[in-house]
A and B are shown apart, each in its own frame.
Chain A
Amino acid sequence: MTPAAVALGIVAIAVIAAAVLGICGARGRLKSPLEYMVGGRSFGSLLLWLLMAGEIYTSFTFLGAAGYAYGLGAPCFYILCYGPVAYAIGFFLTPKIRAVGERYGMLTGPDFFRVRYRSVALAGLVTLVGFVSLVPYVTLQLTGLQVLLTIAGFGAFEPKGAVAIALLLIAAFVFATGLRGTAWASILKDALVVVVVVFAGIALPQRIAGGWEGTLRAVETAHPGWLTLAPGTAPHGVEWFVGAVVVSALGFFLWPQGMAATYSAKNGDALRRNAIFLPAYSLMVLFVLFAGFAALIALPGLKGAAADQAFMLVVRNQYPAWLLGVVAAAGALAALVPVTAQLLAGASIVAKNVVSDIFGACTDDRSRTALTRALVMAVALLALGLWFVLNTYLVNLLLYAYNGIAQFVPGVVMGFSWRRASAWGIGAGIVAGLAVLVATGAFGMKIYGLNPGLVGMAVNALVATVVSLFTNAPDAAHFEEFCAAARE
């Protein structure tokens, strides 16, 4: 067998094994929307941990973080920082979201806004923003998969067709299993990712520069200043860093797939325990960063998007084909398992908050599950189409997608804390926040080097406050009841 056949064969076996695991784990359960979208609100600490780790550690963690370390240096440390910050916030916030979710039967992220602010139109706006943010996220995973398959195939074949087949297979998997399947498929994915990341973070620096210390010294010698941040408002400087940590951490749980994971918890303590253990898992990123630094020593000179390939190329140059296959398999699962959660969340919000709530169709359990399943396939095809057409442009869009999700923060925080917050206020705030993002993104407006997502969030909160004060006060009894439910 050729090395390419060995490596790609291992990838294919791993993907099939993960799918079988997911299908077995989700077998024999009635597929009500409650079970399909949020696992019947029955996940204990372990399944929840698998699901959240499965969603969070994507191919970006694999290729992107190593690429950041390779191409930018110290700015890559932000990927270490935002996880613990997000969990410290989520420790308090997610049990509240779960509790109101159970009390009011919420199935999706936009449902939170529908219930708290009593507006299907506001939920529709949140659905639109969430959906538009999700699709680039899916396409980014496809690009990650393409990179992995190109390298694992030794450049001998054009993997676009293989990526398309993998996505359609995974969409069929989601069609069959729902959220529980994602959690079970994560078992293999997480196990493989942990083994590969620890191997890459220890063995590569050892082989190339005699260990972590040697790697860091070699990096600092070859690129003085690489391991500290540029001061002030410089590109990827200190201000950028703080903004990136804050925006990523605040938006963390408010992605549609993150809200679904929160609702799937069986009680608040499952979420709190999860928040305690997941920061330790963030240390995995450290191993990836060292692999990226080692790649910078072994194979310098790759620029731009090619930096993301550095780590895999070094593995290919230094190790036998079967090992390359195992690394690529971990990467492929790290791309595909999060995609299952993203496809499901994208389909769920459109089925529930647009088709059912706004147009009044498919409101019974059976037809809603059927509709969600059909939409899973539709979202997969949409993402695939966009990926074929707009490949590179969408990767840049992802950074903006995070900023878009961050615009949900004022509505969620005020939802629990300010009686006067109204649907008009929160909706106007989101629109204002998005306007800031469009102004900075499309027209290149600069705001003293500040993170546009953060500025958008501030404008958003201000507009939400002012508009809420000028609109009719919402029902006080509803707010009291909502807050009482949040306390469990």
Chain B
Amino acid sequence: MGRRIAPLVLAAIPTLALSLAIPFVNRFEPSLGGAPFLLVWIVAWVLATPFMLYAAFRLQQRV
């Protein structure tokens, strides 16, 4: 992957996971600690986004 494209892909993944993917994860099971899968999915991606943007940042700097 090109070094200009890779950061865009890294940012696009959480963007899609938290928007267009929502209809596919809108269910209760499998739940975790009483939380519906929908909420688990969202929180996981909210937590992952800073790491993915940080990776994008480092890749950009190497250009």
Contacts and interface: CB of A to CB of B under 8 A. Distances in A.
A84 B27 contact: no
Given A85-B18, A91-B56, A279 B50 contact: yes
A84 B14 contact: yes
Contacts of A280: 46-47, 50
Interface string A85-100: 1011101100000000
Interface magnitude class on chain B = 20 to 34
Given A85-B19, A92-B8, A231-B26, A77 B38 contact: yes
Contacts of A92: 7-8, 11
A414 to B, nearest CB: 18
A212 interface: yes
Contacts of B36: 74, 216, 227-228
Contacts, number: 110
B20 A242 contact: yes
Contact of B49 (A84, A212, A241): A84
A157 interface: no
Interface magnitude class on chain A = 35 or more
A214 interface: yes
Interface of B: 7-8, 11-12, 14-15, 18-20, 22-23, 26-28, 33-36, 38-39, 42-43, 45-47, 49-50, 52-54, 56-57, 60
Counting from the closest, the 4 A-B pairs by CB-CB distance are A216-B34, A213-B34, A84-B49, A279-B49
Given A88-B15, A227-B36, 4 more contacts: A80-B46, A213-B34, A227-B28, A275-B53
8 contacts: A88-B15, A88-B49, A92-B11, A227-B36, A228-B38, A229-B26, A272-B53, A282-B46
Interface of A: 74, 77, 80-85, 87-89, 91-92, 212-217, 220, 227-229, 231, 238-239, 241-242, 245-246, 249, 272-273, 275-277, 279-280, 282-283, 286
